Amino acid sequence: MDIVVLAGGLSSERDVSFKSGTQVAAALRNRGHRALVLDVFMGFSDAECDITDIFENSEENSVKVENIPTEAPDIKAIIASRADKSASFFGPNVIRICQKADIVFMALHGGDGESGKVQAAFDLFGIRYTGNDYISSAVAMDKQMTKDFLDRAGVPTPVGVSLKKENRRGFKFDKYPCIVKPNCGGSSIGVTIVESADQLGAALDAAFEWENEVVVEQFIKGREFSDGVIEGKALPVIEIAPKQGFYDYKNKYAAGSAVETCPAELTVTQTETMQKYAEKAFKALGLTTYARMDFMMDEEGDIYCLEANTLPGMTPTSLLPQEAAVIGLDFEDLCEDLIEVSLKKYGIKHG
C-alpha cells in the first residue's frame, strides 16, 4: 500500500507527533508498504510540484526527526517559517499527496489533528484515514465535554468546570488541591497542580497561554494508569509512575523519567473495573476504531477516568504499543491492525 503518515501540525505536541510518525513509517516499510512521513503544516515543496512518483522514494521524501526536545515547540516561530505564508493549516501539496495514498495513517497529536477538523476535511476530499470519525474525535478532544459524556455513562471522572479566558475575572474554585489544564491540550503541556487559592492565577495564566478555554478540576492524588481500547475491546492496563513530580511533558518523553508497568499490578477486580470503564468511555464518546483512556486511582482505591486520547502516541515504547505487546501484538502488527480496523469504516477488508 501507498501510505501517508501524517505528522507535525501546530499543536503543542508537534515534536511528539514526528516521533510517532517516524516510528510508524519504519514499521510499515518493514511490512512492505511505501510509507511517506509528511508534515501537515509545512507540506512538501514550497510550491505545486510533480508528485507522480512521490511514493517510489518515500523514505527519501519523508520528514526526518531524531529525538523529541524536552521543551514544547515554539508554534509562532514555526508559523512564521513557512515559505508560502498561507493561512491554510494544510501545507503545499498535502491534500494532493494524501489523495494519492491508499490511506493516511494519522500520527498527529493534539490541536487540529485530534479535534476532528482534519478528519472532516479528509471526508470532503475523499481521503481515507486511520482512527475515528470527525464527530467522535471532536467530542473526545474537548476535556469538559468528555467529562459530561462520561458522567452520563456512569464512568467516574473528577469534579471540575471549564473556564473561558474572557470569564476568568473573579473566578474561584473551592476544592484544593486542584489541577488546571488547557481544555483541548495534550502531553500535560500547560498543566499545573494548584495547592491553594493564591496559586490559581498563575496556573490559569500558564494554561491560557495555549488556548482560550481551560478545565479546573479536582486533583486526584494516587496512582496513574492508562488503558487502550481497539474496536471496543480493552487492552491490558498499564501503570505510569514518574520518578519525580507528575507525568508532565518531560516525564512523558525523557528516557528513564518514569517507570511503566504492564500489566499493571492491580487486583483482578481493579483491572476488570478499569477495563470496563475504558470500554464504556469508548462507547459513550462514539469511538469505533481505537483510543486510549487515562485514569487515576486515589489512595482509597477509587478509579477516575481523566480523558480520552483518540490518536495516542505511537512509538514502540508508547503506552498503547506496550499494552498491545502484552497480548502478543508487536509494534509492526499493531500498526497493521490499526490500518485494518480503520479501513472497516470504508467497507474495505485489508490483509
The catalytic site residues sit at 13, 187, 318
Nearest partner of 214 among 281, 148, 284, 167, judged by Cα: 167
DSSP string for residues in 158-193: --EEEEEGGG-TT----SSSEEEEETT--TTTT-EE
DSSP string for residues in 240-273: EEESSSSS-HHHHHSTTSEEEESS-S--HHHHHH
Cβ-in-10-Å burial (0-12, 13-18, 19+) of 1 comes to middle
Q: Collapsing DSSP states into helix, strand and coil, what is residue 38? A: strand
Cite the annotated binding site for Mg(2+) by residue number.
294, 307, 309
Element (H, E) at 278: helix 268-284
CA triplet 226, 313, 44: central angle to 5 degrees? Answer: 165
CA count, 13 A, side-chain hemisphere, 161: 10
Nearest partner of 217 among 273, 156, 269, 278, judged by Cα: 156
Residues comprising the chain, all counted:
351
Longest distance between any two alpha carbons in the chain, whole Å: 61
